[in-house]
Structure formats: structure tokens, C-alpha cells
Amino acid sequence: QKEVEQNSGPLSVPEGAIASLNCTYSDRGSQSFFWYRQYSGKSPELIMSIYSNGDKEDGRFTAQLNKASQYVSLLIRDSQPSDSATYLCASPGYNFNKFYFGSGTKLNVKP
Amino acid sequence: DAGVIQSPRHEVTEMGQEVTLRCKPISGHNSLFWYRQTMMRGLELLIYFNNNVPIDDSGMPEDRFSAKMPNASFSTLKIQPSEPRDSAVYFCASNPDRGTNTEAFFGQGTRLTVV
């Protein structure tokens, strides 16, 4: 079992819709989670981090964490074509800083 | 700060040759990671250094791969001999190691092609 797992997609949504990206993790001791966005041919860049159960909002992005279910999600409201990218979920795990990544979910936002 | 700097950006080499990838982490960052990214396997953690010491190299695929961090500002990943299946994008990332609530910062990556 991988430490962090994601559905590889692709996930296609129309422009203006809500995109929902999901991630599960295996290490119950994990305390922090990160969502990265990676455009084709580029390096991953951080868009959201979350450490506590519940929701965290930043502009059009909302990260959700449920530690009991070992589940993390990212919602993108009012999706734009520029949001089309691969979204990677990451966690350092209980053993800090090993930074395991999921395989990524490819999001396509259609105009 | 210039961010994490990797070189070269692109490398094409023949099978059997030695390849050395280089990384300069962000100044003051104590943790350094090497990743390999392919379509099939995604982003794989190869090795993790903390304060220049290799902490976990369980992700290194074979003895052909080796990594060093001789000082806080420089790390190398070496493949000897290289094989076509090593073709991938190799990323270096660093982290200030101030606990769990800190992100990893990525370099631009090295695209390696072994022919």
C-alpha cells in the first residue's frame, strides 16, 4: 500500500463548475497535508496546506481533512481553464519530512 | 532567494554512461529530497537527507544509483551505468525542517534521456 493514494483521473469539469480532488493516506500519525499543482513540463508548486480536521479556504480553493477517515480533499470553485493541471497530494507522515506524494490527479477544465 | 537550483536542465546520454545530476538547496534549509517522476510511477521519493546526512535511501531503485551531500549547499545524484529505463524527470526539493508544517520547495528538474 502506498503512503498516499489518489485517483489518477483524468477528471474533466466544465468551466465554472466545482472540481473535487481526493486523497487517502495510510499513516495515522500524519499531521500535515499539502496540495501541489503541476503544469505539464513544470515542477510542482504548493497551493494549499492543511493540518487540522475540517475545512480551510483560500480564495477559490478549499482543503478538507478528515483524520478519522484518513481522507484529504481539495475543492476548486469556479474552475477555470488555467486550473487544468495535475494535482498532487503530499504528506511528510509521522516521520517528519519524508514527503510522500500521491500519483496525482489530472484535471481538465473545458471552456 | 533563487530557490532550489538544479543542473543540468536536460541531459541526453548513451546507455552505459555515467550521469551526475546536481542540486543546490535553498540556503538555510536542512532537509533535501531527490525524486524521480515518470508517467507510469508518478513522483517517487528516492532519498532524503537531513543536515547533510542520508536518512532514508529505501527509494533508491538499484545500486547503480547513489547520492551524496558533501555540504549544506550541494547534493549530487549519480547513475552509473545508466540504462534507458532511467529516463525520467529528476527533481530535487528542500525544506527548512521546522517541524511538520513546512512545505517542500522544488527545483525545476532535470529531464534525463538515456538512449
Place of cell 545500486: B63
Give per-residue pLDDT as tens, A41-59.
999 999 999 999 999 999 9
Whether B48 and A51 lie within 8 Å, measured CB to CB: no
Out of B43, B99, B100, the one facing A101 most closely (by C-beta) is B43
- Using alpha carbons, list the distances in angstroms from residue B36 to B1, B39, B42, B47: 24, 10, 8, 10
Bridging pattern class, strands A33-38 and A85-91: antiparallel
B43 in A contact zone (CB under 8 Å): yes
Closest CA to B109 of A48, A82, A40: A40
B25 in A contact zone (CB under 8 Å): no
pLDDT the model gives residue A3:
83
pLDDT the model gives residue A97:
59
Q: What are phi and psi of B51, to 5 degrees?
A: 50, 45
Q: Which residues of B touch A51 (CB under 8 A)?
A: 100-101
Of the pLDDT bands very low, low, confident and very high (cuts 50, 70, 90), residue A8 is: confident
Bridging pattern class, strands A4-6 and A54-58: unpaired
pLDDT the model gives residue A94:
66
The answer to whether B95 and B29 have CB atoms below 8 angstroms apart is yes
Closest CA to A28 of A102, A97, A104, A95: A95
Whether A99 and B56 lie within 8 Å, measured CB to CB: no
Q: Where are the beta strands (DSSP E) in chain B?
A: 5-7, 10-13, 19-24, 31-38, 42-50, 53-56, 65-71, 74-79, 88-95, 105-106, 110-114
Q: What is the mean pLDDT of each run of 10 residues along chain B (115 residues)?
A: 92 97 95 94 91 91 95 97 97 81 90 98
